[in-house]
Amino acid sequence: MGDHKEQPLRVGAAVRRRRRALELTLAVVAARSGLSVPFLSQIENDRARPSTGSLEKVADALRTTAVELLAAADPACSVDVVRADGIEPQPQPRTRSLVRGHHQMHASEFTGDHDAGREFQYRNDQLMYVADGAVEIEAEGRAYRLGRGDTLYLTGGVRHRWRATESDTRVVVVAVAEHIEAVRDRPRR
């Protein structure tokens, strides 16, 4: 009762809309992502469900994030409960969206490690909270070590990368949505 419909997210339409907004062909997205044109077509037509890694490759090719594509895939809700008890066991690493729909805020839970060499830079502000384990975050030329219960705030535009330093690490990332312009251009002097 009150829970969002328990259906798998269908990200195909969101991928197609983003690709068309950028005026890209499937062939260009395939070349940028390293995925095949037939597989991308199957994703867009919801005949294939991409893995987290494949979705990140598609998102990178479309100059967005997997979280943004997932958010655009589901209709907005004013009240939504995302339950933890229905999660199927998956091999580590795992990413789980904590907010569904197209909202002003996004939150994701990362379990385990991910591509530690991947650099992130978001237009808007972001907060990282270590729920379990420990991480090392590199931002603006400095390394920060965070343990359970620690948070790190990043202003929009800060390039950063992070990695888990303990097994079974869980990091919650909360961010102002990319489609919301939270950072205004500062006048140049």
Structure tokens at 42: 């199957």
* pLDDT score for 107: 85
* pLDDT score for 156: 86
* pLDDT score for 102: 62
* Residue 120 DSSP one-character state: B
> Which of 22-31, 87-96, 98-107, 167-176 has the lowest average pLDDT?
87-96
* pLDDT score for 88: 60
Reported as a single tens digit per residue, the pLDDT across 32-88 is 999 999 999 999 988 888 888 899 999 999 999 888 888 777 655 566 667 776 656
Structure tokens at 69: 């594509």
Three-state DSSP at 84 gives: coil
CA distance 131 to 123: 24
Alpha helices in the chain (DSSP H): 12-21, 26-33, 37-44, 52-61, 66-73
C-alpha separations of 31 from 19, 47, 84, 128 in Å: 13, 21, 36, 32
Higher pLDDT among residues 84 and 150, named by residue: 150
If you search the block for the tokens 């097994």, which residue do you land on? 167
Peptide bond into 50 cis (omega under 30): no
* pLDDT score for 124: 83
The mean pLDDT of the chain is: 81
Mean pLDDT value across residues 19-39: 95
